[in-house]
């Protein structure tokens, strides 16, 4: 299964809307760059600033709304920026810290199934503590009630980043299970594209911290998971077509800065 012509059109519209919103909101910082502007031109310098701004916020501006649109084709519920919960048991916090300690010292290898089982046993036991966790970038629910909490990340997280990601998704699981203790749950790091393509993704930075078979979806894996086999290649085609269509609007927006 992949995207139908109607779904492709809907994804394209979401992408256009997101890019146009980013263009409308972009306001170049009022600072002088006399050498840059004389060498490259005001519009090119401003365009570079816009591209840098867009790249920095590509996840929330582009990938999240597109992922929700695609996910809605296969899942009962697909939403972005959802709270996993605001309470966690003290016992679950201790279990998570123990998991982290063992992984950091290489005493154990990542095993998401066992980790979730340990958290489930204590997710509602004893005293509960209020927590304010980062929002879930992408929340998906199947018709059978199975849920997926996905944290969308940049293409090249470092080893230290994966340490924090691991703790975050374990805490998401604990807070969600505190309210929904019997729900089948998966917490995943999603990386929208493989910067090493056509070589395999260099996952050494995640090894030892993430269960690579259960906690990491990269590029084609991620998009085909959301929309079915073939979605990734279709999505690249949609991006290219939208880029060609909106190029005159983008050029016009920045040409005004030369006037």
Taking only the tens place, the pLDDT of each residue in 45-94 is 777 777 777 777 788 888 999 999 999 989 999 999 999 999 999 999 99
Q: May I ask the CATH architecture of the domain 76-227?
A: 3-Layer(aba) Sandwich (3.40)
Count how many Cα atoms sit within 13 Å of the Cα of residue 144 in the half-sphere of its side chain. Answer: 4
Quote the tokens at residue 159: 């080893």
Strands, sheet with 147-152, edge to edge from the N-terminal-most edge strand: 77-82, 136-141, 147-152, 185-191, 216-218
Residue 28, CA distances (Å) to 24, 42, 45, 186, 220 in order: 11, 11, 10, 41, 34
Every domain of the chain and the residues it spans: 1-74+229-259, 76-227
Percent of the chain with pLDDT over 70: 95
Q: Are the C-beta atoms of 119 and 174 separated by less than 8 Å?
A: yes
- Indicate whether 250 pLDDT > 60: yes
- Indicate whether 31 pLDDT > 70: no
How far apart (Å, rounded) are the C-alpha atoms in residues 119 and 92?
6
Q: Please report the pLDDT score of residue 256 as a whole number.
A: 64
- Indicate whether 29 pLDDT > 50: yes
Q: Coil, strand or helix: which one is 130? A: strand
- If pLDDT is split at 50, 70 and 90, which confidence band does 257 have? low
The larger pLDDT score, comparing residue 103 to residue 43, is at 103
Q: 88 forms bridges with which residues in the sheet? A: 129
Q: Are the C-beta atoms of 67 and 10 separated by less than 8 Å?
A: no
Q: 152 forms bridges with which residues in the sheet? A: 190
Q: Please report the pLDDT score of residue 259 as a whole number.
A: 44
- Indicate whether 239 pLDDT > 90: yes
**Residue that is written with structure tokens 């909101």 in the block:** 25
Taking only the tens place, the pLDDT of each residue in 102-118 is 999 999 999 999 999 99
Contacts for 33 with CB less than 8 Å, ≥ 6 apart: 45
- Indicate whether 33 pLDDT > 90: no
Q: What is the DSSP string of 20-74?
A: HHHHHH--------HHHHHHH-HHHHHHHHHHHHHHHTHIIIIIHHHHHHHHTTT
What angle, rounded to 10 degrees, do the helices at 90-104 and 112-122 form? 160
């Amino acid at each position: 299964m992949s995207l139908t012509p109607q779904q492709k059109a809907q994804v394209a519209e979401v992408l256009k809307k997101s890019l146009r919103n980013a263009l409308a909101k972009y306001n170049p910082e009022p600072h002088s760059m006399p050498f840059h502007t004389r060498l490259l031109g005001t519009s090119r310098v401003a365009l570079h600033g816009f591209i840098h701004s867009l790249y920095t916020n590509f996840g929330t501006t582009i990938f999240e709304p597109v992922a929700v649109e695609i996910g809605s084709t296969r899942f009962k519920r697909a939403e972005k920026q959802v709270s996993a919960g605001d309470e966690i048991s003290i016992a679950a916090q201790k279990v998570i810290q123990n998991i982290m300690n063992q992984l950091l010292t290489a005493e154990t290898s990542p095993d998401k199934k066992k980790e979730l089982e340990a958290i489930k046993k204590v997710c509602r036991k004893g005293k509960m503590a209020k927590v304010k966790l980062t929002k879930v970038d992408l929340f998906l629910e199947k018709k059978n009630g199975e849920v997926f909490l996905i944290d969308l990340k940049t293409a090249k997280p470092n080893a230290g980043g994966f340490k924090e990601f691991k703790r975050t998704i374990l805490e998401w699981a604990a807070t969600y299970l505190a309210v929904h203790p019997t729900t089948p749950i998966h917490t995943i790091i999603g990386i929208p594209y493989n910067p090493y393509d056509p070589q395999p993704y260099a996952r050494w930075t995640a090894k030892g911290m993430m269960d690579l078979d259960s906690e990491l979806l990269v590029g084609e894996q991620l998009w085909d998971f959301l929309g079915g086999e073939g979605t990734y290649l279709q999505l690249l085609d949609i991006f290219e077509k939208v880029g060609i269509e909106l190029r005159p609007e983008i050029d016009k927006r920045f040409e005004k800065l030369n006037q």
